[in-house]
Structure 1
């Protein structure tokens, strides 16, 4: 059975994007970018909601060919391109690259994918992750907290139907006052 991870950069007040949808408030240090790269290299399947898919697909297919791309950015772009992706959306007609589109029930498809053999999956996108959280499908949370208050926007966590107990498995600090906390769902 596969494990499902959910992790993103988060403001201190719990948001992953500004009210306008901007993600540019988090500037990762080299150490944090390398941590994200190592995490992404361990994932065998990315699950994206439409908005995050469009953001990622707007840059990373050619991220390794951008002027001034660092070796870590080049490696991240290549890993991103090579890793299979499932995009969940009812508003787009097609996806490209190493991705397939699911227009039906996201929870049913994630449940099916979790039941397969294979490496871990990462869910990305607040709405898609919210559905997975409410359905009890998330096995691990990686919260990378940045020292900024956004005052509103897209929350990392959604309202849940009940309590979810977690076990702390890792804490780490990065330059600039960024703190990682990683939790596993207690089953």
Structure 2
């Protein structure tokens, strides 16, 4: 059975994007970018909601070809392009770069993918992750918290019908006061 990991940058008040989908407050330092690259390197399959897919696919397919691309950008872009991805959307009609589109029941498909043998899967996008969270499918939460209050926007967590108990498995501090906390779901 595969492990499903939900991890994103978030503000101290719990948002992955400020109003207007503004994520400019979350620009990672070189060390934090390396952390996310290392996470990508060990991920076998990435699951995306529409909005996050549109954000990622607007830059990373050619991120290594940009004039200002750093060696870290080049590595991340190549890893991202080469890895297997699934996009869950009823409005997107075409995907590329080793990506498969699912327009049906996301929870049923994520449940099926989790039951397969294989390496870890990550899930991104607040709406998609919320559906997986409510269905009890998330095995690990990776919160990379920036020392900023944005006052509203897209929350990292969704409302739940029941508690989810977690075990803290890692903490780490990055430059600029960014703090990583990683939790596994108690089963």
The Cα shift of 1:31 comes to 0.7
Cα separation, 1, equivalents of 2:35 and 2:91: 33
Deviations 1:92-147 (A, max 9, x none): 21212210100000000000000001100000000000000000000000000001
Cα separation, 1, equivalents of 2:67 and 2:131: 38
Alignment of 1:1-187 (within 5 A): 1-187=1-187
Tell me, what secondary structure is at the counterpart of 2:162?
coil
Cα separation, 2, equivalents of 1:136 and 1:91: 26
Cα separation, 1, equivalents of 2:74 and 2:24: 20
Cα separation, 2, equivalents of 1:91 and 1:120: 27
The Cα shift of 1:17 comes to 0.4
Deviations 1:5-24 (A, max 9, x none): 00000000000001101211
- Structure 2 length as normaliser, TM-score? 0.99
**Structure 1: stretches of 5+ with no match in the other structure:** none
Cα separation, 1, equivalents of 2:91 and 2:70: 34
**Structure 2: stretches of 5+ with no match in the other structure:** none
Cα separation, 2, equivalents of 1:97 and 1:73: 17
Cα separation, 2, equivalents of 1:65 and 1:97: 15
